[in-house]
Amino acid sequence: MASKHTIATRHAQGIRARFASRFLRSLLRLRRSGNRFGGSQSNDEGIGKRIRTDRIKIAAYAAMARAVGPRRSWSRALLFKLRNRARIHGVSRKRCLVSEKKRVARNKVVAISREPSRADTLRKLVPGGDSMDTCVLLEETAHYIKCLATQVTVMQSIADRLLL
């Protein structure tokens, strides 16, 4: 029977490997679609760079959320947010503003019934933190930080390897 420590380390290595493979696949996909839309667009290079950076950032967070899976509250909330964002991008701006307002109003009603706690900045930083009580929030924060650190390490090592 493997000890708790070995199970935990195996679990940690699993997250790193799962995130790395998903993220690298997204990078390949992004690069392929980037080449299709034309190599050099010199007139709006600044905007193009911003869009590419955002796409990579979203790919990183999505890859991490998918690697963690639905077993964590923050990964579920993050996947939900990313799917809504992807859906809104396909719809006209006017319609998306209306749906955004409805969602914000619904969340506001829930917030008023709770009394304000000390961890409010933390709630804004952790995905899905608005609807958690403090104990769950701290637990989710710990796991979120661990996964974020893994994400940064993997992205760093990819960037270093791409330079070679």
Partner 1 sequence: MIRSLILLQSYSNFFPETRNRRSEKVSAAKALQETCNYIKSLHREVDDLSERLSELLETTDTTQAAIIRNLLMQ
What gap in Å lies between CA 164 and CA 157, rounded to an integer?
11
Whether the Cβ atoms of residue 132 and residue 117 lie closer than 8 Å to each other: no
Contact residues for partner 1 (CB under 8 A)? 17, 20-21, 24-25, 27-28, 30-31, 34, 49, 52-57, 60-61, 118-119, 121-122, 125-126, 134-135, 138-139, 141-142, 144-146, 148-149, 151-152, 155-156, 158-159, 161-164
Show the DSSP H helices in 91-133 as ranges. Answer: 93-113, 120-125
- Count the Cβ atoms, other than its own, within 10 Å of residue 34: 14
Closer Cβ to partner 1, 1 or 159, answer by number: 159
> What amino acid occupies position 68?
V
Closer Cβ to partner 1, 16 or 76, answer by number: 16
- In the complex, the smallest distance separating the C-beta of residue 108 from partner 1, rounded to whole angstroms, is 22
